[in-house]
Amino acid sequence: MPTVLITGCSSGFGLEIARYFLARDWNVVATMRTPRADILPPSPRLRVLALDVTNSESIRRAVEEAGPLDVLVNNAGFGLAAPSELTPLAAVREVFETNTFGTIALTQAVLPQFRQRGAGVVVNVTSSVTLKALPLIAAYSASKAAVNAYTESTAIELAPFGVRLCLVLPGRSPESRFRENAQRHGLEHEAYADLVNEVLARFADTASPITHPQDVAEAVWRAATDPSAPMLIPAGADAQAWAAEAGGLH
């Protein structure tokens, strides 16, 4: 029975991905900063582990406790909304520390076992904002775009060893807690008031296509289980539309 380790399982996409794999009889190692077993269906195939992807010792312990893995899903991350000129550098470093460096650090910790075994899949969940420039999320977009580039390059290196790396790019998902968990800086500045109001109205629009957590879980499942899946998989109707505009990805 294959085993998947998923980060950021306390809510949103990570929680839905964990449920999806559990329902398909996989062994699931669901990780979160503060472990909560009560949010997932009870199962002998489920383990909930503490993991802070910004802490090297936490990564070492989690990988050791998880044991042999078949798939790693890097989903942990948070948002950052701010005009670029008003974004504190400390906030930029923090979003990169989790979204980018945390993903790289955990991937580096798992890749040796995949390479030595000659099998394994890494699925990195980034964002469709890497396909289309949007205002007020420059640092966040950059942190996710960096993961895209890292994944594409690393995939070339690991392909001779039978290891695959894939990207799942979700769109806007009002059902997740992304907006509530995002850091905000400078949104009240009068120079950016009109732009902020326009962006917030667009985000609250319920008529436009959106991404559901199930869309992301299905895309991650495809990336993990289908060797013929493309490296970049947009998840959600809006993400798929943007991908088509950006060059016809499917």
Q: Which candidate, 115, 131, 136, places its Cα nearest to that of 169?
A: 131
Residue among 20, 140, 150, 192 flagged as catalytic: 140
Q: What is the mean pLDDT of each run of 10 residues along the chain (250 residues)?
A: 97 96 98 93 96 98 98 95 94 97 98 98 97 94 98 98 98 71 79 88 77 97 98 95 74
Alpha helices in 81-134 (DSSP H): 89-96, 103-117
pLDDT reported for residue 176: 60
pLDDT in tens, 171-228: 998 776 555 666 788 788 988 899 988 888 877 676 788 999 999 999 999 999 999 9
CA separation for the pair 245, 250 (Å, rounded): 11
Token duo for residue 196: 């902020």
| DSSP states along 162-177 | TEEEEEEEE---TTSS
The model's pTM is 0.94
Q: Is 250 helix (H, G, I), strand (E, B) or coil?
A: coil
192 annotated active-site: no
pLDDT reported for residue 205: 72
Which domains can be identified in the chain, with CATH numbers?
Answer: 3-247 (3.40.50.720)
Token duo for residue 247: 């060059």
pLDDT reported for residue 169: 98
pLDDT reported for residue 249: 47
Alpha-carbon distances of 33 from 11, 190, 193, rounded to whole Å: 11, 36, 35
CA separation for the pair 131, 81 (Å, rounded): 18
Residue 167 neighbours by CB under 8 Å, 6+ apart: 123, 124, 125, 126, 147, 148, 151, 152, 223, 231, 232, 233
